[in-house]
Amino acid sequence: MGMVYQADDHELGRTVALKVIRPELARNPDILQRFKQEILLASKVTDRNIIRIYDLGDANGVKFITMEYVAGEDLRAIVRRGKLSPAKAVAVMEQVVSGLEAAHRIGIIHRDLKPGNIMLSSDGRVLVMDFGLARSLDGDG
């Protein structure tokens, strides 16, 4: 759907991840609604294992989401290099489940859980990302 970049938020003085939607997709109302859905649902979940979403913006027609920047890499990239030890795999999944449990407690179902949507920070924190396909149990899922 787009690319994610590391960026500096000069207004708030912090580093953010900037998820930019591809221009050809930005004209599609369904895709824009998916971006908005990601912000609305993910911002309701407050858990150390869920990526924090800050804002949806538009700069000269380029739509973007700003979110918490996490130094690290996604689980897909890690697994491509080789298998995780059983202990490491369990440690990662415990944190994934903790994040999903926080979402489920408030009625949000992720619906797109895959290694590319799980981020492992350099300090060992695991975060679930990309709530673009998520649904709320209150009305739309």
Among candidate residues 9, 58, 112, 138, the one labeled active-site is 112
DSSP 58-84: EETTEEEEEEE--SEEEHHHHHHH-PP
Residue 72 falls in which region: left (phi positive, over 0), alpha (psi -120 to 50) or beta: left
Instruction: Give the whole-angstrom CA distance, residue 67 versus residue 135.
Output: 20
Cα separation, 127 vs 47, whole angstroms: 9
The two most distant CA atoms of the chain are separated, in Å, by 48
- For the question of residue 123 being annotated catalytic, the response is no
Residue 44 phi/psi, 5° resolution? -80, -20
**Residues 4 and 19: beta-carbon distance below 8 Å:** yes
Q: Which residues are catalytic?
A: 112
